[in-house]
Amino acid sequence: MSMLLTHAHRSRGRHRERSALRAGGSISRLAAAVLALLLASCAGSALRGGDGWEQLVVVTNPGTRSEGKSYFLCYEGAPIPDLFRKLWAGGAWYEYAERTVLWGDEGYVLLETGDEIEAGEEFTAADGERGWYEGASRKRDTPGHWFLGVRDHVVAWIDPGRLADFTAAWGLEALRRQADPPCKN
């Protein structure tokens, strides 16, 4: 059995998961609790600042010693591929976790929410046409939906709509994951 949750903050999601699991012995009470959980989660599913970002969580084997969580980031319903070790999007930092056993976390796990990253030099038309620029400093007037991806020697601000071009240019391969994304697209 697996359960899909959408949420902006991990701690709230864990509380809701436990509440749903304690909801009772009957299937109908558990189903009602899961439905209430999903409805409540969807009300706050957009990450801080909006901009089309959403974190989805799939819980497998809920309430057992083998419970596992797979975290996914989606932009406007499309999954962000597992390419980065650390990522800043929608006002929050995420770190990629690789699951080595059946239980535990995998995917883009929320580290912390925070303020916007300070702007540096000016965003250029060439940056916009290319769809990304290198560096950890966010340029002034960078579109709000762009995200910062960090992996080994690669540190760049990227337009999610141009991620395939960025991936091809840098030759990045996806990190290891066990679950498939439940995003809309």
Name which of 97, 52, 111, 49 is nearest 78 in CA terms: 52
d(CA 21, CA 147): 34
Q: What SS3 state is found at 161?
A: helix
Tens of pLDDT, residue by residue over 124-161, are: 999 999 999 999 899 999 999 999 999 998 999 999 99
> DSSP assignment, residue 185?
-
Tens of pLDDT, residue by residue over 61-94, are: 899 988 999 999 999 999 999 999 999 998 899 9
Cα 162 from chain centre: 17
d(CA 44, CA 98): 26
Residue-level pLDDT at 184: 67
